[in-house]
Amino acid sequence: MRSKSLALSLAFSSLLWGATAVSDKPDTPFKLATFEAQGKTRVGMALGDHMLDLNGANAYVEKQAGLPAMKLSTEMRELIEQYTSASKRMYQIANYLKDKKVDGQAFAFALDKVAIKAPIKYPYNLLNMAANYWTHAREMGVKKDVDQDRDDPFIFAKSPRSCIVDPGTPFYIPEGRNRIDWEGELAIIMSKPTFHVSKQKALDYVFGYTIMYDVSDRGGRNRKDPMFTGADWFSGKSLDGAAPFGPFIVPKEFMSNPHDIHIMTRVNGVVKQDGNTSDMIYDVEHQIAYISSIMTLYPGDVISSGTMGGVGVARKPPEFLKAGDVVEISIDGIGTLKTPIEAMSKRPASGGVQ
């Protein structure tokens, strides 16, 4: 009887150990994505060369490791809102599956066989930094000194719904617009409501980082007798589809220093921009502090943090994109955002971006 009781005790201890043995610490880096597979749009965790349907992987790990049930959101913006409570479970999923063979599991897909979508459709706000790298500011003719603690940055907005498109989706050049430029940028994703946040606490409000292509028309639109002088930012920056976005979001715990990240932009395989976020004039903390001093940012909102030197308009002679070109923006630790360039005549007749 005593040996039977001991066996039961050991079995119970084993079950208890199995339920608590999976680390809930960020020991295994992962990326997040919105993807489509088997006709269904899903939130995914990119782990190694697999894309895991997050909810399917969660159900599997719950069962295998004896974890308590937890429901994870199936939409990225809602998952970001849930992340404070959900992050430990996501760490457990990554830690449990990192060395497991998941081929053949219903929740696991080959990374190169799924359609990656823009990670958030759609954020409430998409803000963009203008001339925020020293190399770009100088090539655009900025001669005066700028002090991030003294001078306010220049911010403009794009419409999330009209401008954001998926990785791999073409940008269609409007008729008569022959000065379309490339601008590769690090995009900051907010984690929670952010208003009047200090520079010292700003990074506490960041969820993670991804890639944005700030498509720019350097020609703008000709205007007769304009009411205001200066560049037409709306016409030059807010064209339909002018914010290709993705492919992955890297949570900030896996990219802890946003001020030392390598970024490269290629056009048809030729390097056009090659720089580092250390060249920013206004660092991430100053961007968040300034914007939140004016408006509230919400979970999933995006700040596209500006581009580095090497844009087409600053070259001698200037270079611009044409139909048939392909723009690829790569950021170390995140991935590559690819955007084909096409003529407007090839745009599907259905109208509107995705």
**CATH number of the domain encompassing residue 71:** 2.30.30.230
Q: Which amino acid is at 188?
A: I
The pLDDT of residue 179: 96
Burial of residue 80 (number of CB atoms within 10 Å: 0-12, 13-18, 19+): buried
**Structural domain total, the chain:** 2
The pLDDT of residue 284: 98
> What does the alpha-carbon distance between residue 297 and residue 310 come to, in Å, rounded to a whole number?
30
Please answer whether residues 4 and 84 qualify as being in contact, where contact means their C-beta atoms are separated by less than 8 angstroms: no
Q: Which amino acid is at 325?
A: D
> What does the alpha-carbon distance between residue 7 and residue 4 come to, in Å, rounded to a whole number?
5
335 and 285 share one domain:
yes
57 and 92 share one domain:
yes
The pLDDT of residue 353: 62
Spacing of C-alpha 252 from chain mean position: 11
138 and 225 share one domain:
yes
> What does the alpha-carbon distance between residue 239 and residue 217 come to, in Å, rounded to a whole number?
8
The pLDDT of residue 7: 41
Range of the domain at 24: 20-116
Q: Which residues pair with 263 in a beta bridge?
A: 275, 331
> What does the alpha-carbon distance between residue 265 and residue 271 come to, in Å, rounded to a whole number?
6
**Bridge-based pairing state of the strands 108-110 and 164-165:** unpaired
Please answer whether residues 209 and 321 qualify as being in contact, where contact means their C-beta atoms are separated by less than 8 angstroms: no
320 and 226 share one domain:
yes
Structure tokens at 121: 């459709």
Give the residues of the chain that fall short of pLDDT 70.
Answer: 1-20, 220-226, 351-354
231 and 315 share one domain:
yes
Q: pTM (2 decimals)?
A: 0.92
The pLDDT of residue 19: 54
> What does the alpha-carbon distance between residue 222 and residue 219 come to, in Å, rounded to a whole number?
8
